[in-house]
Structure 1
Amino acid sequence: MITHKEHIIKYFESGIKDVKNFKIGIEHEKFLFDEKTNKRVDYPTVLKMFSLLSEFGWKPIMEKENIIGLQKQGKSITLEPGNQIELSGDKLNNIHEACAESHDYLFELQQVTKKLNLKIVSAGFDPISTLSEVPNNPKQRYQVMTKDMPNGGSLSLDMMYRTCGTQLNLDYDSEKDFIKKFKIVNSIVPISIALFANSSIIEKKNSGFSSYRSKVWQETSRGGLPEVFFDNMDFEKYADFSINFPLLFIQNEKEYLSGSNYSFSDFMNGKISEINNRLPTEDDLTTHLSTIFTENRLKKYIELRSMDTCGWDCLCSGPAFNTGILYGNLDEAYELISKWDKNKIINAYLEAPKKGFNTELMGKDLLHWSSLLLGISRKGLLNRDILSKSNDNEAKFLNHLDKLIDNKTTNADHMIDKFSKNENLNDLYDK
């Protein structure tokens, strides 16, 4: 049972790994549309898709009588609130393996979508649908979230039903290592927003944002970039943060109950009468930590959550960029960001969704800092010196970012340019 802060600290300590055992986990979401109607897919269509994916060895994940996802070996496909589908990848050794995993998954997905006349959109925000047009599904937790989330953030339902992101999960070898890495990943959130911006079109119009997805997350309940994250956050401080954080829902046996009136502290102290005052298990703690929707968060690894979903040309570049920094060149990155003022970082974070590369941070624009960090990352990947079967270094996955910085344009700019010429919806779909 989780009844004391020390239990949560030990939970985080159990994530400590030797450097030689560090893993890389990638999660990325996709929108699916009916090719004929340009409408988001409904749950019956998802079930048809899941049935076809079973031919590739995927097995169903059930919730009561409903299929809510698929699993194969160490990875899973999960269903998001508006039937976005997410690949939660296996824990892999390097970017070559992680990128190959994504490539294999997308190949399977494309075979299935072609058979069902579906189209994929790899963007951070649904560029076509209004919120009312997005279908839902019977996954239980989403019913609680749909009811409670708007109370703490005006765009919470847009987050749930109309956003897609790319998430990266990385390890730490000590509490000191975690402190450094967490300071870096929170400091570079504005750069991640600008560099991976890919959500400029909303409801078939130019939104005026490079990353409207990031704007939505700033207006989402339980989200944001807390100031406390910059104060050398250690395991104890994060335990305090999570203990005092409100509950989103409570999973009690097979039912989901609203947690809106309670914090995790109430749970630990046996003060939730709806569940007979039972105490939380480690599974309850894991669930709670996964409903803290900040830009980065801690479980038994660090989750980086500030990147818009993008297409195949850039899917591997975000994980490579961050892996080079955090696994290959940590000290140089830390030396750079340690000079930055946290209030200026937070201000840049608030401005980056709209201004993109033109956002100012510490007297320089984010294009400048992106270029510097890309150099640090490349050096880190070269230091790792992990080669593919064809003798390529992981640094090759940064080539897409080189082009963005050289041209001073993002995926969002390309989408605006391409779509604004003739406003053809086909231009929004993956090719």
Structure 2
Amino acid sequence: MNPDTILTDKQQLTAWLESGCRPREEWRIGTEHEKFGFCTENLTPLPYAGRRGIRAMLEGMAEQFGWQPVLEDGLPVALKKDACSITLEPGGQLELSGGLLDNLHQTCSEVNTHLAEVRSVAEPLGIGFLGMGFHPSARREDIEWMPKARYVIMRNYMPRVGTLGHDMMKRTCTVQVNLDFSSETDMVDKFRASLALQPVATALFANSPFVEGKPCGFLSYRSQVWTDTDPDRTGMLPWVFDSGMGFERYVDWMLDVPMYFVRRGDRYIDAAGQSFRDFLAGRLPALPGEQPRLSDWEDHLTTAFPEVRLKRFLEMRGADGGPWRRLCALPAFWVGLLYDDASLAGCLELTRHWSNEQRQALRDDVARVGLNARIDGRTVRELAAELLELASQGLARRARFNAGGDHEGGYLTPLQDIVERGTTPAEVKLERFENEWNGDLAGLFRKYAY
């Protein structure tokens, strides 16, 4: 369908999601990651304007590496090149949305190339970038809002539905991978397996133990923030495990997720809290008598934030941001589990007896205790070891080799090290905070900046 296609009934919405089904030989890997910028002189967050600002970064990337600026009200707010984009999160977090690639060697090369470009522009400006799940030192008021109209609407709406929405917008970073499915049945299997196991990824990638310069009592405070952001559009979606789950069931949920906005040209029309069901019926208060276009549905799908999100592909959303090796490890973990039939069957068998209450408790517990969380008599560390073996087997069977003859399983090494060590990245940083950095997070910025 054309983006300007007028939508008049729910079946069009369902059909559009279903059009994402593609044969195995066309399955691809899409990765996204966010990072915090900071001034290397004083470790403060970057403003938008000024010589050491986000705008200077975007303009430098465009000038030096051929990225095309995307403007809003005359200001650069994103970059595009080929099938990739660099965008800004509300607090200036810099996000790379990569291309749709065939194998993990390509995705890791893409990440490495991007980070090298970022360093090339940032270092002469006195700018650094850090990958963590939550900003370790800055207060809300220390971080500027970026000049994007959709963020103004979200910013105004968030306090109506939760207390940590502004923290989510300004102080969190994640890494995610987007994966394909071949049919409705395949989508449901992958959705259920990845949703049930998302807390294991949260534990493996837990990397946000500090808030405003001090330990906060969580290993993934980013994960905790999502529990008080907006219950209408977040969480573990227990109905995904009910009989009758499919594309239409997801559409029904999205029709009841309150809207944020409608785009018309360069304008963002505030529709916060209004109903897409009403929009479909021509009764949206923000645009009375008008029915949505396909582009409005695509926009609306981006405004839900569950642990796994469905578009015309599935997004794994449970991991904290981190260093470059873990940016390559997350897609390796999920590709190994979900793109191999035997590994996917193993995941479904492992999780099929878990109840909604158990899944929710696990999701809540890993934010605080990481690998020590338990479900069904087992620790997450034990589950992670089993899952990494399944993922390794799945990647070996995929048999995608680099020039050196290595298959993709090597990208799991950082996660295997975490399980063998038995401590999350957050716990490593907490130990260094107490014993190596003497309670000063300047050491964290020096050691872990990209």
TM tier relative to shorter chain: over 0.9
- Is the contact between residue 204 and residue 371 of structure 2 (CA under 8 Å) also seen in structure 1? yes
Q: Report the CA distance between 1:243 and its aligned residue.
A: 1.3
Helix, strand or coil at the partner of 2:138: coil
Whole-angstrom distance in 1 between the partners of 2:285 and 2:144: 34
- Is the contact between residue 209 and residue 221 of structure 2 (CA under 8 Å) also seen in structure 1? yes
2:291 is equivalent to residue 282 of structure 1: no
Counterpart code for 1:126? H
| Matched residue, 2:3 | none
- Is the contact between residue 362 and residue 374 of structure 2 (CA under 8 Å) also seen in structure 1? yes
Counterpart code for 2:276? F
Q: Which runs of 5+ in 2 are unaligned?
A: 1-5
Q: Please point out which of 61, 66, 82 is paired with 2:70.
A: 61
Q: Report the CA distance between 1:154 and its aligned residue.
A: 1.2
Within a 5 Å distance, the mapping from 1:251-270 to structure 2 comes to 251-270=263-282
Q: Report the CA distance between 1:369 and its aligned residue.
A: 0.8
Q: Report the CA distance between 1:132 and its aligned residue.
A: 1.1
Query: TM-score, normalized by length of structure 1?
Result: 0.98
Query: TM-score, normalized by length of structure 2?
Result: 0.94
Q: Please point out which of 115, 118, 123 is paired with 2:124.
A: 115
Counterpart code for 1:228? W
Whole-angstrom distance in 2 between the partners of 1:149 and 1:273: 20
Q: Report the CA distance between 1:190 and its aligned residue.
A: 1.5
> Could you report, residue by residue, the CA deviation over 1:9-37 in whole angstroms, capped at 9, with x for unpaired residues?
11011101110000100000000001112
2:444 is equivalent to residue 428 of structure 1: yes
Counterpart code for 1:226? L
RMSD: 1.2
Whole-angstrom distance in 2 between the partners of 1:313 and 1:189: 19
Whole-angstrom distance in 1 between the partners of 2:248 and 2:413: 39
| Matched residue, 1:52 | 60
Whole-angstrom distance in 1 between the partners of 2:129 and 2:170: 16
Q: Report the CA distance between 1:116 and its aligned residue.
A: 0.7
Whole-angstrom distance in 2 between the partners of 1:413 and 1:157: 26
- Is the contact between residue 246 and residue 264 of structure 1 (CA under 8 Å) also seen in structure 2? yes
- Is the contact between residue 16 and residue 171 of structure 1 (CA under 8 Å) also seen in structure 2? yes
Counterpart code for 1:50? L
| Matched residue, 1:321 | 333
- Is the contact between residue 341 and residue 362 of structure 1 (CA under 8 Å) also seen in structure 2? no
Whole-angstrom distance in 2 between the partners of 1:66 and 1:230: 44
| Matched residue, 2:172 | 163
| Matched residue, 1:366 | 380
Q: Please point out which of 2, 6, 12 is paired with 1:7.
A: 12
Helix, strand or coil at the partner of 1:42: coil
- Is the contact between residue 252 and residue 275 of structure 1 (CA under 8 Å) also seen in structure 2? no
Change (3 A) 1:216 1:194: same
| Matched residue, 1:246 | 258
Counterpart code for 1:343? E
Q: Please point out which of 160, 169, 172 is paired with 2:181.
A: 172
Helix, strand or coil at the partner of 2:400: coil
2:208 is equivalent to residue 199 of structure 1: yes
- Is the contact between residue 27 and residue 166 of structure 1 (CA under 8 Å) also seen in structure 2? yes
> Could you report, residue by residue, the CA deviation over 1:185-217 in whole angstroms, capped at 9, with x for unpaired residues?
110122111111010111110111110000001
Whole-angstrom distance in 2 between the partners of 1:204 and 1:82: 18
| Matched residue, 1:300 | 312
Helix, strand or coil at the partner of 2:43: coil
Counterpart code for 2:86? I
Whole-angstrom distance in 2 between the partners of 1:363 and 1:286: 41
Q: Which runs of 5+ in 1 are unaligned?
A: none
Whole-angstrom distance in 1 between the partners of 2:422 and 2:89: 33
Q: Please point out which of 389, 393, 413 is paired with 1:375.
A: 389
Structure 1 residue runs of 4 or more that deviate by more than 3 Å after TM superposition: none
- Is the contact between residue 234 and residue 305 of structure 2 (CA under 8 Å) also seen in structure 1? yes
Whole-angstrom distance in 2 between the partners of 1:103 and 1:293: 27
2:406 is equivalent to residue 392 of structure 1: yes
Helix, strand or coil at the partner of 1:305: strand
Counterpart code for 2:8? T
Counterpart code for 2:440? N
Number of residue-to-residue matches in the alignment? 431
| Matched residue, 1:32 | 37
Once the two structures are overlaid, the 10-residue window that deviates more, 229-238 or 139-148, is 229-238
Identity of aligned residues (%): 35
2:220 is equivalent to residue 225 of structure 1: no
- Is the contact between residue 121 and residue 428 of structure 1 (CA under 8 Å) also seen in structure 2? no
Counterpart code for 1:428? L
- Is the contact between residue 58 and residue 70 of structure 1 (CA under 8 Å) also seen in structure 2? yes
Whole-angstrom distance in 1 between the partners of 2:145 and 2:258: 25
Helix, strand or coil at the partner of 2:134: coil
Once the two structures are overlaid, the 10-residue window that deviates more, 233-242 or 420-429, is 420-429
Whole-angstrom distance in 1 between the partners of 2:368 and 2:207: 12
- Is the contact between residue 133 and residue 322 of structure 2 (CA under 8 Å) also seen in structure 1? yes
Once the two structures are overlaid, the 10-residue window that deviates more, 417-426 or 109-118, is 417-426
Q: Report the CA distance between 1:273 and its aligned residue.
A: 3.6
> Could you report, residue by residue, the CA deviation over 1:241-294 in whole angstroms, capped at 9, with x for unpaired residues?
111221122223322222234111011011124324211111100100000011
Counterpart code for 2:36? F
